[in-house]
Amino acid sequence: MSRPLPLHRGVSGMRNLSNSNDFWDSEVKDKTEKEDLDRNRASDQSYLSLSVGSPRSRHKLTVLFLKLSLVVIVILALTGSFWWTLSISTLSRGHIFHGYRRLQEQLVLDLWDIGELSLGASRMKEIDFCPEESENHIPCFNISENLALGYSDGSEYDRQCGQGSRQSCLVLPPVNYKIPLRWPTGRDVIWVANVKITGQEVFTSGSLTKRMMMLEEEQISFRSASLMFDGVEDYSHQIAEMIGLRNESNFIQAGVRTILDIGCGYGSFGAHLFSKQLLTMCIANYESSGSQVQLTLERGLPAMIGSFNSKQLPYPSLSFDMLHCARCGIDWDEKDGIFLIEVDRVLKPGGYFVWTSPLTNVQSFLRNKEKQKRWNFVRDFAENLCWELMSQQEETVLWKKTSKKNCYNSRKPGSGPPICSKGQDVESPYYRPLQNCIGGTHSRRWLPIEERPTWPSRSNLNKNELALYGLHSEELNEDTTDSRTAVRNYWSLLSPLIFSDHPKRPGDEDPSPPYNMLRNVLDMNARYGGLNAALLEAGKSVWVMNVVPTSGPNYLPLILDRGYVGVLHDWCEAFPTYPRTYDMVHADGLLSLETSQHRRCTMLDLFTEIDRLLRPEGWILIRDAAPLVESARALTTRLKWDARIIEIESNSDERLLICQKPFFKKQAM
């Protein structure tokens, strides 16, 4: 059904009202003249007759009376409409209610159109492209500005999101940017032009990483699967043996599913473990070039910018089964061991901390008293954290975090950091300074990794486990059912363009399975991680960054305990990652959540950030209330997205907006 034009209706109404007023005014004018003659004969004139004795003044009074009458009529009409709406909302749930909801939606859309037109053509203008120097820029990270503001001692690398940090332009890809190769080829081979790194930086990278990389004309190859470059496989096999396992394939049987890789190089450790059903999240400091995070993400692997400098990581306490640091650049003996305390906070009970460094080499520190002093501090501090030193081989040391809380009380008085009070022990921090106390001990989620169900059973929580998060099984089941339906719908709508069901592009040779155009998804409002679970259940070889907005309920501990990766984030700020990071962005209910808050950002700000995060030819899926989706659709033309709206169900007041970001090769002037 075509939408009526509200502006045309208004013009017509005004014209009819004007004609009736002319006729009414002529009658009033004749009557007024007669009454004036009578009043002139009177000997005494009142104030009223003096003020309105002339025809012009009497006419003004009449017009004023008409205006007041119209105002009263409008107020009465609005009041009646309100009570009618209230009665319909409370008494009817059938066809009348459904029809009235449609009228409400239409009214919202009409008002949106009127508002856009009233603001003029500038409001509908397409957003300009950013200058060329912004192609790898991340808002909120500006080291030189932070130094000028007085930040130092490592905090200059932290996020500082001020009012001027938000971008209002569209980031263009580099000049020679190419669409990444399909998974799994794209995990091991990337285009040099897609990342900000030079050949010199490749050849001067760390020794372990250098063995993993080769520069071949326009590509960087990561040869972790080759017999000539088997360093990562041997290294991960060594770690498994230090735990007491036969090889890395047995990590899951030991309770290890999620790993936080600190200063991950270029993600080769996580790339190798990905094939073992282990999920490794890479975090590293912001780097202006040669970024570990950017190269890892370009390979289609989990990564984000994160720092141990001055703030706690945006993860709940007791989040990961293993933390790994191989020449990660962190001096664990600095600041009285506060970085080790943060490692302990995010590590699950019974989890493992793996540290590979020349500092841990016995032969090295025996010849250097300073190194020996630093190593002794780390070893003693780990013992005071109730970590068990399980093994030490060459440059690698492996500790196991205690799974027994009474260990902390059995320490000698004054040895090691104290246990955090309940007020200090915040489960999910955001922009919170590092704490000099042991966290996580007050959490109801304190459960050794050996006692947790192994993967993939871990993702299906029972009634008692859900009670730890304040959830009923019915809520999770409903979310799971909705997510399964959504994934089936997405696959049906977007195939054969994107998914492994139909991977071939026109002109391509037949690929060897399994290939997948979709390697990662950013779920902007993850709730319980239902989309992640549905994708894995459907056999799709993707990983999901589950983002829990700070403006809504915090179920990030649940998501991480299910064996997924995720993070807290305020969507009025830039996400801590480089441009062109994700193949798909999914937002279910996010617009409703954000508009219900007193936000300091607009829907356009949110969409501009989505465009920055999305790879060229990437997809955006927005599911929300119909009026909000229509408003979002109006913005897509400004961002140059290709968009269409899908009606989910005939009796639903929700809509699905599907958009694709074009691949613009033209550079900004």
Task: Decide which of 466 and 518 is more confident.
Answer: 466
Per DSSP, the residues of 69-136 read HHHHHHHHHHHHHHHHHHHHHHH--SHHHHHHHHHHHHHHHHHHHHHHHHH-GGGGSPPPBPPGGGTT
Domain regions of the chain by residue span: 227-409, 457-661
Tell me the average pLDDT across 362-371.
Answer: 76
Tell me the average pLDDT across 409-436.
Answer: 88
For the chain, give the mean pLDDT: 79
Q: Is the pLDDT of residue 468 over 70?
A: yes
Find the helix or strand (DSSP H, E) in which 199 lies: helix 199-203
What topology does CATH give the domain 227-409? Rossmann fold (3.40.50)
Q: Is the pLDDT of residue 21 over 50?
A: no
Tell me the average pLDDT across 415-428.
Answer: 89
User: Three-state DSSP class for 170?
Assistant: strand
Q: What is the pTM of this model?
A: 0.78
pLDDT in tens, 171-180: 999 999 999 9
pLDDT of residue 74: 64
Q: Is the pLDDT of residue 586 over 90?
A: yes
Tell me the average pLDDT across 650-655.
Answer: 83
Least confident segment among 430-434, 437-441, 506-510: 506-510
Q: Is the pLDDT of residue 19 over 80?
A: no
- Report d(CA 589, CA 527) in Å as an integer: 10
- Report d(CA 157, CA 141) in Å as an integer: 7
pLDDT in tens, 128-161: 999 988 888 888 887 666 666 666 666 667 777 8
- Report d(CA 264, CA 326) in Å as an integer: 7
pLDDT in tens, 319-331: 999 999 998 989 9
Tell me the average pLDDT across 538-547.
Answer: 91
Tell me the average pLDDT across 53-71.
Answer: 68
Task: Decide which of 163 and 47 is more confident.
Answer: 163
Q: Is the pLDDT of residue 455 over 90?
A: yes
Q: Does the CA dihedral 45-50-51-52 come out positive or negative?
A: positive
CA atoms within 13 A on the CB side of 69: 6
Q: How much of the chain, in percent, has pLDDT values that exceed 70?
A: 72
User: Three-state DSSP class for 587?
Assistant: strand
Q: Is the pLDDT of residue 643 over 80?
A: yes
Return the CATH number of 457-661, one of 1.10.357.10, 3.40.50.2300, 1.10.490.10, 3.40.50.150. Answer: 3.40.50.150
Per DSSP, the residues of 335-393 read GGGHHHHHHHHHEEEEEEEEEE-GGG-HHHHHS-HHHHHHHHHHHHHHHHTTEEEEEEE
Contact 397, 362 (CB under 8 A): no
Contacts of 579 (CB under 8 A, 6+ apart): 135, 136, 137, 138, 171, 173, 612, 613
pLDDT of residue 37: 43
Find the helix or strand (DSSP H, E) in which 509 lies: none
For residue 538, the Cα-to-chain-centroid distance in whole angstroms is: 23
pLDDT of residue 570: 93
Return the axis-axis angle of helices 530-537 and 473-494, rounded to nearest 10°. 60
pLDDT of residue 501: 44
Q: Is the pLDDT of residue 282 over 90?
A: yes
- Tokens matching residue 93: 């749930």
pLDDT of residue 92: 39
Tell me the average pLDDT across 492-505.
Answer: 59
Task: Decide which of 627 and 518 is more confident.
Answer: 627
227-409 shares its CATH topology with 457-661: yes
Contact 342, 316 (CB under 8 A): no
Least confident segment among 95-99, 327-331, 638-642: 95-99
How sure is the predictor about 434, in pLDDT bands with cuts at 50, 70 and 90? very high
Q: Is the pLDDT of residue 119 over 60?
A: no
- Report d(CA 613, CA 376) in Å as an integer: 43
Q: Is the pLDDT of residue 113 over 80?
A: no
Pairing verdict, β 582-588 and 520-523: parallel
Tell me the average pLDDT across 51-55.
Answer: 47
How sure is the predictor about 400, in pLDDT bands with cuts at 50, 70 and 90? very high
Of the candidates 323, 342, 348, the one whose C-alpha atom is nearest the C-alpha of residue 435 is: 342
Least confident segment among 32-46, 243-257, 317-331: 32-46
Q: How much of the chain, in percent, has pLDDT values that exceed 90?
A: 49
Task: Decide which of 365 and 350 is more confident.
Answer: 350
Q: Is the pLDDT of residue 96 over 50?
A: no
Give the number of residues written for the chain. Answer: 669
Contact 262, 206 (CB under 8 A): no
How sure is the predictor about 580, in pLDDT bands with cuts at 50, 70 and 90? very high
Per DSSP, the residues of 593-636 read HHHTS--SS-HHHHHHHHHHHEEEEEEEEEEEEHHHHHHHHHHH
pLDDT of residue 312: 92
